A and B are shown apart, each in its own frame.
Chain A
């Protein structure tokens, strides 16, 4: 297994009977009791996710804001203390290096970027290369991260921290003490449900995880694997790096124009992004439902009924909430309209699908 990384919670997961897999170089739980059951628990009650594999890059100093404004597509100048924002790290060709959340710890002084596990090294090098004089530190080794997600997520997290956390608004965060150390409690997530993501120093992670499981037992809390994390985000059509977006994706074709603030400022790749948009983007990311029986998977071709190649599937799965097979993919924009019927090449067969409104689950 070489130097596969373990989170501070890996041993607890193994004892809990998790099925563990190598995910982006990390030994992670993909499933505990069963993917569908875990998925529905998060939609109906509350679940815990070990997301300690995610990366944390700290950007500090008087040049911190100019640096992130240059690197990121969204406008970080609007962030006040304790606010967070979904944003993109773009490249010079107008593609996407990573998608991430930036947390404003102190305006114009201190920011935390929470990045994808698979991209930590790439992002860190990219940020160093394009730094405008900020102090950049890769703090990924210092932090564990636990997500508490579901309708009872706020109640459970409040119980464990011993105070009402409901005043922390969506896309806001606050420093809170647990077991004598400072943690960051953020009202963010990747499931579409209410709840928090808590940045906790590695040494206290197991204690926090155990406390959440114990306090949450009456609420029905269970640990949730990465498998359900993926089906939960797919039902909301949240992009996953390496699926919906990559180094050559224009943010507009991925439907990420809302975090691409071309009128607010200049940033890496902006001129290319605008140029491509003005020339007209050929494809668009859509959500679809399978009409025929079968599951669309990443890389499967999408076709029109007259056999024209429209694009490719980026994600596809049975939806545990809807009991239907859903998918996300790029199609030529003439085929992106809601209700359009398309075909998915599933091995030897062409199966009917229909472009539908997203998120799939409201």
Chain B
């Protein structure tokens, strides 16, 4: 399972890619695999405020609804709108084309609450055993 080194990770299986103040957010390969086929997603609007560890949207498979938790606090500056009509990329390419939102982060300090790749790998290998 791919766990890119450059990303930050949450315990709830979101990834966050940080480029200066802009944080791109999606769900991990592990998350999409355990969800199964995503049939619907609900994402925030541009300009909406999000708070670290609080829901900013949901993804739904046929059987389940899962909250998406914001890895950092800030303002949504871009939304992957195409996913509304076709959430397919969330399963097919969750770490690239299946990205969900971009956040203008309030404070870099919050990144300290996230995991880096080695710790996240440990988390998912424990969850699988």
Chain A residues proximal to chain B, CB less than 8 Å: 19, 30-31, 34-36, 227, 230-231, 293-295, 297, 317-318, 320, 347
Contact = CB atoms under 8 A, between A and B. Distances in A.
Contacts of B65: 295, 297
Interface stretch (B6-14, B33-41, B69-77, B94-102): B33-41
Nearest to A230: B63
A227 B61 CA distance: 11
B82 interface: no
A346 to B, nearest CB: 8
Contact of B84 (A30, A35, A230, A293): A293
B62 interface: yes
13 contacts: A34-B36, A35-B61, A35-B62, A35-B63, A227-B36, A227-B62, A230-B63, A293-B84, A295-B39, A295-B60, A295-B65, A318-B40, A347-B42
Given A227-B63, A295-B60, A347-B58, A31 B42 contact: no
Given A19-B36, A35-B37, A227-B63, 12 more contacts: A34-B37, A35-B61, A36-B37, A36-B62, A231-B62, A294-B40, A294-B42, A295-B40, A317-B62, A318-B39, A318-B40, A347-B58
A243 to B, nearest CB: 13
Interface in B36-56: 36-37, 39-40, 42
A347 B59 CA distance: 13
A19 B128 CA distance: 12
B37 to A, nearest CB: 6
Interface of B is mostly: strand
The 9 closest A-B pairs by CB, nearest first: A318-B39, A35-B62, A227-B63, A295-B60, A318-B62, A295-B40, A317-B62, A297-B65, A31-B36
A193 B106 CA distance: 56
A293 B40 contact: yes
A318 B40 CA distance: 9
A34 B91 CA distance: 12
Contacts of A35: 36-37, 61-63
Contacts of A231: 62
A19 B64 CA distance: 14
A184 B124 CA distance: 44
